[in-house]
Each structure stands twice: as structure tokens, then as C-alpha cells.
Amino acid sequence: MAQVLRHLTEPKPEYVAEWQDLPAWQRDVYTYVFESIEQRFGRPRCGEE
């Protein structure tokens, strides 16, 4: 969240919301995107970014 706040002085609430506070559809989209990236590029090893 710190990176969002560094670049946006007034971010939209959904940019800084906690996971459990997001609507179910948005959590589903984020999950789908994350899993698609993992499938395409693999899961990062511990300590790697």
C-alpha cells in the first residue's frame, strides 16, 4: 500500500482496501490474474522477487 500512496495522493478506496473488504467479484478477478501469471511464469521461490 505504501507504493500506492507514494504515487497517488488521493487513491480510490479499492486501491487501498484490505482483501476481505473487497467485493467478491474483485477478489475473484485478482485471484484469476495471479493464478494465470503463476501458471505462465511459475511460482517464485522463497526469497526471490
Q: Where are the domains of the chain?
A: 17-42
pLDDT at 5 over 80: no
Record the cell numbers describing residue 42, joined without a space: 511459475
Print burial letters for 11-38: b (CB count within 10 Å at least 16), e (below 16): eeeeeeeeeeeeeeeeeeeeeeeeeeee
pLDDT in tens, 17-47: 889 999 999 999 999 999 999 999 887 676 6
Q: Say if residues 15 and 5 touch (Cβ distance below 8 Å).
A: no
Q: Name the pTM for this structure.
A: 0.61
Positive or negative, the Cα torsion across 31, 36, 39, 45?
negative
Q: What share of the chain is helix, strand, coil (3-state, %, to 5)?
A: 65, 0, 35
